[in-house]
């Protein structure tokens, strides 16, 4: 009862893993990937496998996606539980993307054989608080857009795909 390696307060340890994918309608899908442990030393103390014993980040993500003939969208919230076994660092440096919207559009074989594409994303992100002043290390938004146009030229023995693409990235 008075084991110094496993004190009484550590006997009720918890590990939670939830992975679920659900199709709502023809084009809509939801995903949950949620992992949690009750303390930083959970894997160090209880795992037999060296790969699992050295886990330091646990994904916690919820996503909703929409797919159609020409468009794909993903809306997600994502963060990590950061584990600091033993004494741990002075501060935690975790990263959250809450929320993120990413999209992809593809229109192949349009006029003159051209293919039009558009990739983009909007992300609101934060880092954990600075231990010295208590302010978040980074809070911001990232906007990204990549419109492109290509002309795939194919024969039975070769292909050539000239492409022009703009890459726009803005961080606030």
75: phi then psi, degrees, rounded to nearest 5 = -115, 125
Tokens of 111: 């006029």
Q: Residue 167: pLDDT band by 50, 70, 90 thresholds?
A: very high
For 10-17, which contacts have Cβ atoms below 8 Å and span 24 or more sequence positions?
Answer: 10/39, 10/45, 12/38, 13/37, 13/38, 13/39, 13/42, 13/46, 14/38, 15/42
Region 135-147: mean pLDDT is 86
Highest mean pLDDT among 2-6, 89-93, 166-170: 166-170
With 70 as the cut, is the pLDDT of residue 74 above it?
Answer: yes
pLDDT at 1 over 50: no
Model pLDDT, residue 89: 57
Phi, psi torsion values for 103, nearest 5 degrees: -145, 160
With beta carbons less than 8 A apart as the criterion, state whether 84 and 99 touch: no
For position 76, what pLDDT does the model report? Answer: 95
Query: What mean pLDDT do residues 39-44 have?
Result: 79
Q: Is the pLDDT of residue 91 over 70?
A: no
**SS3 labels along 78-92:** EEEEECCCCCCCCCC
């Amino acid at each position: 009862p008075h084991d110094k390696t496993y004190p009484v307060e550590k006997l009720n340890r918890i590990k939670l893993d939830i992975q679920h994918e659900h199709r709502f309608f023809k084009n809509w899908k939801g995903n949950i990937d949620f992992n949690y442990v009750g303390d930083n030393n959970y894997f160090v103390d209880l795992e037999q496998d060296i790969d699992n014993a050295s886990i330091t980040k646990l994904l916690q993500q919820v996503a909703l996606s929409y797919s159609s003939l020409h468009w794909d969208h993903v809306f997600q919230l994502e963060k990590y539980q950061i584990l600091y076994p033993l004494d741990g660092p002075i501060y935690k440096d975790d990263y959250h993307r809450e929320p993120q919207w990413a999209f992809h559009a593809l229109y192949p074989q349009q006029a003159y054989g051209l293919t039009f594409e558009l990739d983009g994303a909007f992300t609101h992100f934060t880092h954990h608080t600075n231990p010295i002043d208590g302010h978040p290390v980074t809070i911001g938004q990232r906007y990204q857009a990549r419109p492109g146009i290509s002309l795939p030229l194919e024969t039975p023995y070769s292909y050539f795909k000239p492409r022009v693409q703009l890459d726009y990235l803005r961080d606030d």
